[in-house]
């Protein structure tokens, strides 16, 4: 199993990109959600709890392997929460793709509501756009944390294709950086970003072109 401690040290060094040719001014990023967890099946909002994949989730994670291999990422970035790390292990094991696990790609911290029924946590997400959850963070804070990491760590490296494994707020940040849309628009126009009907776009993931800083 991939270690969330040792894999970080195994990352290849990569200097900040010098002067990319016009066709390298963007990075191609594939985003995939962590696979289906036991909390997802029980309609629980896991938040910053680790969570664990269900048997169906483990099967679907393994089914993502051909999709990810065909995409050909040179590097992968993953939330350090258990359900995401387990997804990375099942999809990337023995591929040789280096993985960085980081708390920067975590889900929004729901504070006292981590592990609570999703219907209560997500009754009206826009309330928490700027207002933090009790003992947690707001969506704007989680979005800023995630987008900052993508801009300052992922996009400045020399790889052309990267994989990101994360959560609802992770995809919001990736989509916003690709489209330039504000967070509120992303949240209101794309409810399926949090509860996709076809998990991971029917096993295809989502591919974005993101302009480098």
pLDDT in tens, 66-80: 999 999 999 999 999
Token pair, residue 124, equals 């009206």
pLDDT higher than 80, residue 193: no
Q: Total domain count for the chain?
A: 1
Q: Domain range spanning residue 54?
A: 25-211
- Identify whether 7 is part of a domain: no
CA distances from 191 to 28, 57, 124, 147 (A): 24, 21, 11, 19
Structural domain contains residue 19: no
Residue 176 forms part of a structural domain: yes
Over residues 120-173, the pLDDT tens digits come to 998 888 999 999 999 999 999 999 999 999 999 999 999 999 999 999 999 999
Per the domain annotation, does 9 fall within a domain? no
Q: CATH code at 148? A: 3.40.50.1240
Strands 99-102 and 75-79, bridge-based pairing: parallel
Q: What is the DSSP string of 80-149?
A: SSHHHHHHHHHHHTTS---EEEEGGGPPP--GGGTTEEHHHHTTTGGGGTTSPPTTS--HHHHHHHHHHH
Residue 20 lies in a domain: no
């Amino acid at each position: 199993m991939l270690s969330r401690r040792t894999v970080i040290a195994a990352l290849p060094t990569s200097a900040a990109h010098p002067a990319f040719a016009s066709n390298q001014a963007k990075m191609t990023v594939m985003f995939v959600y962590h696979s289906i967890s036991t909390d997802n099946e029980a309609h629980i909002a896991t938040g910053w709890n680790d969570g664990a994949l269900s048997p169906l989730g483990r099967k679907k994670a393994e089914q993502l392997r051909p999709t990810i291999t065909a995409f050909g990422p040179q590097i992968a970035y993953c939330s350090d929460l258990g359900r995401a790390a387990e997804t990375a292990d099942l999809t990337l094991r023995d591929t040789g793709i280096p993985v960085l696990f980081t708390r920067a790609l975590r889900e929004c911290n729901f504070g006292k509501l981590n592990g609570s029924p999703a219907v209560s946590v997500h009754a009206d997400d826009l309330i928490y756009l700027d207002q933090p959850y009790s003992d947690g963070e707001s969506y704007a804070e989680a979005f800023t944390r995630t987008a900052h990491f993508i801009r300052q760590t992922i996009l400045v490296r020399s790889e052309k294709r990267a994989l990101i494994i994360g959560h609802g707020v992770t995809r919001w940040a990736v989509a916003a950086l690709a489209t330039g849309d504000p967070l509120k628009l992303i949240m209101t126009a794309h409810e399926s970003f949090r509860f996709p009907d076809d998990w991971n776009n029917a096993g295809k993931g989502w591919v974005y072109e993101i302009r480098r800083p």
